[in-house]
A and B are shown apart, each in its own frame.
Chain A
Amino acid sequence: MKRLLPMLFASLASAVALAQAEPIVLNADCPPGFELSTGQCELRSLYQLYPSLQDAGVGGLKTGLPGWRDGFTPQQTDLGRYLFFDPVLSRDGTVSCATCHAPDRGFSDGLGRSVGINGSVLPRSAPSLWNVAFLNSFFWDGRADSLEEQMVGPLFDKHEMGSDPQLLLDTLNGIPAYRQLFAQAFPADFKSGDAEIRLDQVYAAITAFQVTLVSLNSRYDQYAHGYADALTEPEIEGLNIFRSFVARCAECHTPPLFTNQQVAVLGTPEPEGMPFDPGAQIPMNEPSQRGGFKVPSLRNIELTAPYMHSGRFATLREAVSFYTGGRGHAVPEGEELKIHWHIWEPNLTEDELDRLVDFLKTLTDESFKPEQPRRLPSGLQPMHQVIAYIGENDNGEEDHE
């Protein structure tokens, strides 16, 4: 890590020079997937044609979506994009939201356990942000009920971004470019010249950006909307195994979001040497939820290896194999877990496991992936790229782009 620092400072200096160029104007258009309607961006999707029992957003192929967040302005959304990529939000300017939620890594980070400020290794992996607009609880243990509540966690956790509310406000208010952008995004709040940036505006803007990360155009979706040729024979075989009552994947990873948004106790193993994670037992204060974690969406799952809450499984094949290993086969000695009833012994064959992986890969769609800002209002470099770049060089890979 130490040898990184001189390089970082060098790049910072050049970035500061760049930032003195012309002022940033926030995008007045909604991102793809959204219609501008009376000044607000509203989600549009073919899935809105379909009903859903009790409006729960769980069902089969042609089932409507669960409730979602939208209704932010284009400017708020674009401001959120700048904030999302800007490491100035962290205590020392080294970590941005995108550090652990990198667009090119399925809005995760490719790590089993994410790395925060000062190289802190965190206890869990970074969940993908694709389709967070549809979720009603956040974090692996479901302890936050909204994106606004969720982001307070990483922003101010001393091991993640390490900031605190006052420092964050002082930092942003100290950057004229940001004051000017917040005034564009929240014009009603900035009528007087000495108006200050507020935390709720920061949270609203980042939320506005996050809810535009919609992925509903995979080949699976084409199949669901009625195009039978969108999937190959092996992939359809995989779909049928996925929804069969033998594998039972679809009972919890329910279409169309491929999650039923519940907490489930699976008994997956931690990485070697890591103590057992009690999961939802802590926030729910409920012993029967020991080892419980939120059922994650499987959309874009191909992009977010390794898998499970602490990244024990390196590949999708390993992850699906867990489910045919038998109830509680990986539970540590001495742990009494209320393992979910759908975890049983389906005796899936090797071929069936392969087909499941084939099917899971049809859930990949990044067609609405947002563009990353070329320059940031803080003048800093978008750190997630720098770190990924250097990491790849360490692995002996060359990036020619």
Chain B
Amino acid sequence: MNKIVAVVGALALLGGGYYLGNANQPEPTVIKVPTAPKAEFTSSGADEVSAASGKVSVRAWETPTSGEVIIVKDGESIQDAVKAAQPGAVIKVMPGTYKETVYVDKDNITLSGVIERGAYPVMDGEGVRNDAVLYSGNGFTVENLYITKYKGNAIMGQAGNNYIIRNNIIVDTGVYGIFPQLGKNGIVAHNVISGIEDAAIYVGMSDNVDVVYNQVFDSVAGIEIENSRSALVEGNFVYNNTGGILAFITPGLPIKTCSDVIIRNNFVVDNNHENFAIPGSLVSNIPQGTGMLIMACDDVVVEQNIITGNESMGMLFTDFSLAGNAATDPDADPRPNRPKILNNIMRDNGKNPAPMVRAVLATQMLTRGPDVIDTVGMDDGCILNPERYRTFGLEKYGDCEFENTKTVLTYTLPEPVPPRVNETNMDKGKLAYYGVCAGCHAYGSRMIGPPTQIIQALYMDNPEGIAAYAAAPVRKRDDYPEMPPQGHLDDETRLAAAKFMLGLTR
């Protein structure tokens, strides 16, 4: 309770400071007829996408498959299938109920539900399991699952580039519905998510993500883009959450920027759900009835959304004053720099503002929440047709130099992010030799194992011999301890290390 009071105080102070500096005079509507077309939209994120693209392709890629198919039937374990799968496998999950946590630490796995006459494969956490699907591999697709009653998340990624999360139904899975984190190039599309106590879709510390055509409702936050760059949030139906669509920096994270977010063509409607977030979480600060919230995120474009019936306000641009329950981060810029508000439909917002918003409005002798509020009073923002909306704090916004973002069809890359290759010192054999073998073998001197020079003399042109021996060593010499098996390195890596070892000259 104390924290809420502190936040209200902070917001009220800002509002007060703002009021002192600006008279609140309504300006007459100016009718403008453009004489020349406006410039095209550009962004640093769009440059990267178009540089990689020689053709028009919007989310046209799939994750790699090899032809291997594994079928999991009701009563069997999905995880057993994942364990048996080779990279490239498609795991088809038949309708049924699966009570497990599935983790995928391999590349290029597709986890795909089979839907029969409306019946989904159901992953049921029964209120006791932590997460339904955890992945860390690249090229992961998960689709067509019905996930419910987990304590943590439905689908959570930790790193892993080039992922597709689509066509899942997620009902009441605890903290997040879909949470890809620390990956580059992903698609989150056509999911239906409800009943989440933080964000239904949470893109955290990521690059190049499209969140498109999802239905998210009855959650504290609908869609969150956090500490991420180049994100497109388009065509989503976002209703009856506490806050609809959020783009922000969370202070204290290791990746400290948020920029180039396009929020367009979404329905952001009646996001008036009571805030049922976990105490202490950042989203516990969201005022009930917030359509959109942009906190500290730069170059956010808001375009052609239908934003109606959000009882506190249509959209809020702010700084860390809203996150008053978190420690500050001197390395993160708290200002929502260069906000760009293009044409949007905003109606019926602010009819019943939450108490903390009401406190800010009171400093302006207002009772109804605005369509757009900027508590910082940014002077580098732009807005098209500002006369259409009830705004607060936008006096320093100018006219936008562009009318739309149609130059950006997607922020995902036309080709998957390639694995890291062809950089200097990327030879696997060399890295394995120095990174692993060198713990026991030095070139010319005795360590725990015999010197590399002696091994070279013994094996000459036989790297296969070294690779085979290292996988299953037997005691050969009385004057050295037995070598521990190195089968944890795969055949290719062991052979590469052996070849490198034989070629070493110092």
A interface residues with partner B (beta carbon < 8 Å): 29, 32-36, 42, 44-54, 56, 58-64, 216-217, 222-230, 236, 240-241, 243-247, 250, 254-255, 260-265, 284, 286, 288-289, 292, 327, 338-341, 343-344, 346-347, 367-368
CB within 8 Å for A284 and B151 given contacts A44-B430, A217-B436: no
In the complex, what residues of B have CB within 8 A of residue A50's CB? 420
Whether B205 sits at the interface, judged by CB under 8 Å, is: yes
Whether B481 sits at the interface, judged by CB under 8 Å, is: no
Whether B153 sits at the interface, judged by CB under 8 Å, is: yes
Docked-complex contact B425 and A32, CB < 8 angstroms: no
Docked-complex contact B328 and A341, CB < 8 angstroms: no
In the complex, what residues of A have CB within 8 A of residue B254's CB? 56, 58, 254, 260-262
Docked-complex contact A262 and B136, CB < 8 angstroms: no
CA distance A46 to B438 in the complex (A): 13
Q: Hey, what's the 0/1 contact readout for B227-269 against A, CB within 8 Å counting as 1?
A: 0000000000000000000000010111100000000000000
Whether B445 sits at the interface, judged by CB under 8 Å, is: yes
CA distance A59 to B135 in the complex (A): 11
CB within 8 Å for A226 and B134 given contacts A44-B425, A46-B436: no
Docked-complex contact A34 and B174, CB < 8 angstroms: no
Whether B95 sits at the interface, judged by CB under 8 Å, is: no
CB within 8 Å for A225 and B158 given contacts A344-B281, A367-B439: no
Choice from A49, A241, A343, A347 contacting B420 with Cβ under 8 Å: A49
Q: 10 shortest A-B CB distances, which residue pairs?
A: A59-B159, A60-B159, A44-B434, A60-B136, A245-B152, A244-B130, A60-B158, A222-B488, A227-B488, A367-B439
In the complex, what residues of A have CB within 8 A of residue B105's CB? 61, 223-224, 228
CA distance A292 to B430 in the complex (A): 41
Docked-complex contact A245 and B159, CB < 8 angstroms: no
Nearest A residue to B173, CB-CB: A245
In the complex, what residues of B have CB within 8 A of residue A230's CB? 488
Report which residue of A49, A61, A230 has the largest number of chain B beta carbons within 10 angstroms of its beta carbon. Answer: A49
Docked-complex contact A53 and B327, CB < 8 angstroms: no
CB within 8 Å for A244 and B152 given contacts A261-B254, A341-B280: yes
In the complex, what residues of B have CB within 8 A of residue A250's CB? 158
Choice from B152, B182, B326 contacting A59 with Cβ under 8 Å: B182
Report which residue of A56, A62, A241, A255 has the largest number of chain B beta carbons within 10 angstroms of its beta carbon. Answer: A62
CA distance A49 to B105 in the complex (A): 16
Docked-complex contact A46 and B431, CB < 8 angstroms: yes
A-B contact pairs, 19 of them (CB 8 A): A32-B440, A32-B447, A33-B438, A35-B430, A36-B506, A45-B431, A45-B434, A53-B184, A54-B255, A217-B435, A226-B106, A244-B101, A245-B152, A250-B158, A260-B254, A262-B253, A284-B330, A338-B326, A344-B278
Nearest B residue to A224, CB-CB: B105
CB within 8 Å for A289 and B328 given contacts A53-B255, A245-B152: yes
Nearest B residue to A368, CB-CB: B439
CB within 8 Å for A344 and B130 given contacts A46-B435, A243-B158, A289-B327: no
CA distance A52 to B326 in the complex (A): 27
Docked-complex contact B130 and A60, CB < 8 angstroms: no
